[in-house]
Amino acid sequence: MTAMLGPLAQVAVTFKDVPRAVTWYRDVLGLSLLFETGGMAFFAMGDVRLMMTTAEKPEFDHPASVLYFRVHDISAAFLALEARGATFEDKPHLVGKMGSTEIWMFFVRDPEQHLLGITEERAGT
């Protein structure tokens, strides 16, 4: 019997300072805070929840994988994040083409230096 996995439901990212992370993800990224409980916070990322927590054990205290957020207008997203004080790794740039679709991206760091990708898929020119 083959196990059938559904869509991704939740991503957990560890932080040393969860309240500071909550403020940044809410006020800078503009994510919707769902709820906080027991030192954890949960945000809506479309159909996927972002769980913020501290590391329960030393082996869990490491940087997160890169989270990629899809936007409809990468230039507008860059300007909005810049106005909110985000720290950038680069500016919006063309990453590659998939047929008639262009992939545009830039990267930003949260207060604990987790890397976040902001990406737009648009019709090629």
Domains contained in the chain, CATH given: 8-56 (3.10.180.10), 63-125 (3.30.720.110)
Tell me the CA end-to-end span of the chain in Å, nearest whole number. 46
Q: Residue 61: left if φ>0, alpha if ψ -120 to 50, beta else—which one?
A: beta
The structure tokens listed for 107 are 């990267």
Is the pLDDT confidence value at 115 over 80? yes
What pLDDT is stored for residue 62 in this prediction? 74
pTM of the model: 0.83
- Give residue-wise pLDDT tens across range 8-57: 889 999 999 999 999 999 999 999 999 999 999 999 999 999 999 998 77
Tell me the pLDDT tens digit for each residue of 50-98: 999 998 777 777 777 889 999 999 999 999 999 999 999 999 999 999 9
pLDDT of residue 111: 93
